[in-house]
């Protein structure tokens, strides 16, 4: 009895030009056996390298002039980027600026960029101050009370306090030890956005958003869940045309549709800063600081620097920045 052979896509061999195809055992290609000799470890110990090999492969030494961050721009072609958590820097690497962007308490996200400068030296850069966020659309027919007036900042402050409390409670419930600081700032800021529009569909009613900044990227999914489930948010009211009476304007248990909350933190940073893959970055002089002491360094790179994200200049791969 012939057995009907099915393709992975759901069709059969009888459906196409292969109806007479019959697979024989000899048609199956066996994987070539790898000899022990081919699989032998051919790595060379560093001690076995000749001086000629070392001079050809090792990076050039860093001159003392390159250690003066106040006089030299640092041009870096980045090769890898990731994120770690850590304590915020105590002072801004740019001596002309006092305030550090982002949170200055607790654990904060720190972006690490690894690459090579234009002199061939390996560089690890720690980028501080970039804060995770998400957009949440106001339901159709709702608006922010006092938008465009002096009252707006007060309303947004109340919303931040409310969301911070929700995040604290969710954080405590998710902590197995049940321990957490009640005065932790998990929701850092809230902005009202009325000049954006969702590109989902040709005609959308989502034109007003809350842009919510949180302390760590791991809190964005929690905030997303809370906003989708619905909550009482102060200052979010029905617009005057949709409201039948002033007492009914206040939003109760309203669900806020999330936007761009699934974008990974590192990718979010690259998009906002217009950083291209393996592109060149410039850290202007006097905006970054070098880690000189060995106890400060965390990698084997020749140079380790700290800089705030708003000081980084990203170049498009054009002209002189199209080099490798």
- For residue 285, the domain's CATH number is 2.40.50.730
The reported pLDDT for the residue numbered 36 is 52
Residues 173 and 240 grouped into a single domain: yes
CB 304 within 8 Å of CB 297: yes
Residue 42 placed within a domain: no
The whole-number mean pLDDT for each consecutive block of 10 residues of the chain, a chain of 324 residues, reads 42 46 48 51 73 83 93 96 95 92 92 96 97 93 91 96 93 60 79 79 74 96 94 86 47 84 96 96 97 90 97 95 88
What pLDDT is recorded for position 39? 52
Q: Are residues 167 and 221 in the same domain?
A: yes
Render pLDDT for 126-152 as a digit per residue (tens, 0 to 9): 999 999 999 999 988 899 999 999 999
pLDDT of the residue at 44:
73
Burial of 93 (0-12, 13-18, 19+ CB in 10 A): buried
pTM for this prediction:
0.79
In 10 A of CB 91, how many CB atoms? Answer: 13
Last residue of a domain, one of 227, 255, 283: 255
Q: Which ranges of the chain does DSSP label H, i.e. alpha helix?
A: 51-57, 151-174, 219-229, 265-273
Q: Which domain holds residue 241?
A: 139-255
Tokens read off for 146:
């006092």
For residues 210 and 143, state if they share a domain. yes
| 3 state DSSP class of 151 | helix
Q: What is the pLDDT of residues 165-182, one digit of tens each?
A: 999 998 887 764 444 444
Q: Using alpha carbons, list the distances in angstroms from residue 25 to 8, 33, 241.
A: 20, 18, 76
Predicted pLDDT of residue 206: 74
Structural domain count of the chain: 2
Residues 207 and 177 in one domain: yes
Both 190 and 239 in one domain: the answer is yes
User: Domain end: 206, 229, 255, which one?
Assistant: 255
């Amino acid at each position: 009895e012939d057995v009907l052979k099915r393709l992975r896509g759901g069709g059969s061999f009888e459906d196409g030009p292969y109806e007479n195809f019959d697979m024989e055992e000899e048609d199956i290609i066996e994987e070539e056996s790898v000899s022990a000799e081919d699989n032998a470890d051919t790595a060379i110990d560093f001690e076995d390298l000749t001086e000629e090999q070392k001079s050809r492969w090792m990076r050039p030494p860093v001159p003392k002039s390159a250690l003066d961050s106040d006089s030299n721009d640092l041009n870096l072609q980045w090769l890898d980027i990731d994120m770690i958590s850590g304590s915020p820097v105590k002072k801004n690497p740019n001596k002309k600026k006092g305030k550090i962007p982002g949170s200055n308490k607790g654990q904060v996200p720190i972006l690490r960029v690894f690459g090579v400068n234009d002199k061939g030296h390996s560089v690890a850069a720690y980028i501080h101050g970039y804060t995770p966020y998400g957009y949440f659309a106001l339901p159709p027919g709702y608006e922010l009370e006092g938008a465009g007036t002096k009252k707006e900042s007060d309303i947004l402050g109340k919303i931040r306090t409310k969301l911070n409390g929700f995040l604290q409670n969710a954080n405590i419930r998710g902590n197995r030890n049940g321990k957490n600081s009640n005065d932790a700032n998990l929701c850092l800021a809230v902005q009202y956005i009325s000049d954006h529009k969702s590109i989902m569909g040709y005609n959308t009613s989502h034109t007003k958003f809350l842009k919510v900044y949180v302390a760590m990227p791991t809190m964005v999914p929690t905030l997303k869940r809370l906003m989708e489930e619905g909550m009482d948010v102060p200052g979010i009211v029905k617009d005057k045309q949709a409201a039948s009476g002033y007492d009914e304007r206040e939003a109760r248990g309203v669900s806020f549709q999330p936007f761009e909350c699934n974008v990974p933190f590192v990718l979010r940073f690259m998009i906002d800063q217009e950083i291209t893959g393996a592109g060149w970055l410039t850290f202007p002089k006097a905006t970054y600081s070098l880690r000189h002491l060995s106890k400060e360094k965390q990698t084997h790179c020749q140079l380790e620097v700290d800089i705030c994200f708003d000081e980084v200049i990203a170049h498009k791969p054009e002209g002189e920045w199209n080099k490798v």
